[in-house]
Amino acid sequence: LRKSNGDAEVAIVLTNNPQAYVLQRADNFEIPSHIFTRKEFYDTDDVIRLLKNLNIDLVVLAGFLLLVPGSLLKAFPNKIINLHPALLPKYGGKGMYGDHVHQAVLADKEEESGITIHFVNENFDEGEIIHQSKFKIEPGDTLEIVKFKGQQLEHHHFPRVVENLLKKMRS
β pairing state of 13-15 and 59-62 = unpaired
Q: How many CB atoms lie within 10 A of CB 69?
A: 16
Contact 44, 66 (CB under 8 A): no
84 is catalytic: yes
CA distance 98 to 82: 13
Cα dist. 126→8, 90, 129 in Å? 26, 10, 8
Query: Which residue is catalytic, options 34, 84, 118, 156?
Result: 84
- The catalytic residues are 84
